[in-house]
Amino acid sequence: VQLVESGGGLVQAGGSLRLACAASGVTSGDYVIGWFRQAPGKEREGVSCISSSDGRKDYEASVKGRFTISSDNSKNTVYLQMNSLQPEDTAVYYCAAGPTVIGGCIYDRGSYYFSWGQGTQVTVSS
């Protein structure tokens, strides 16, 4: 499985970015994609996840209502629409692939995921 993130960049506070995670080597409808982020000097944290089998989603509390995860199974691509960005959202964002799980997906356990992308930098200026 290979994952390639894109869409990062520099944006002012209150702005928006859309990240994309293109997956190859996966079977459509048979995996979960999670988004994680790691800010300098901080531990990696889970942001959101989506199941390609049933579309179930989950979000970390601080991004609920601001971030939206979606998928285009025909393209094996998952998107993370990030609105109302704040300086504290500054981090390297990674997508990761994991196996499907009954009940949806797991966004806050990195060990669940078996393949990771290279990351894309998101910088939010105040």
56-82 as b/e: b if 16+ CB within 10 A = ebbbbeebeeebbbebeeeebbbbbeb
pLDDT digits (tens, 9 = 90+) for 103-114: 789 999 999 999
Q: What is the pLDDT of residues 34-78, one digit of tens each?
A: 999 999 999 999 999 999 888 899 999 999 999 999 999 889 999
For residues 73-100, give the mean pLDDT: 95
Predicted confidence (pLDDT) at residue 30 exceeds the cutoff of 90: no
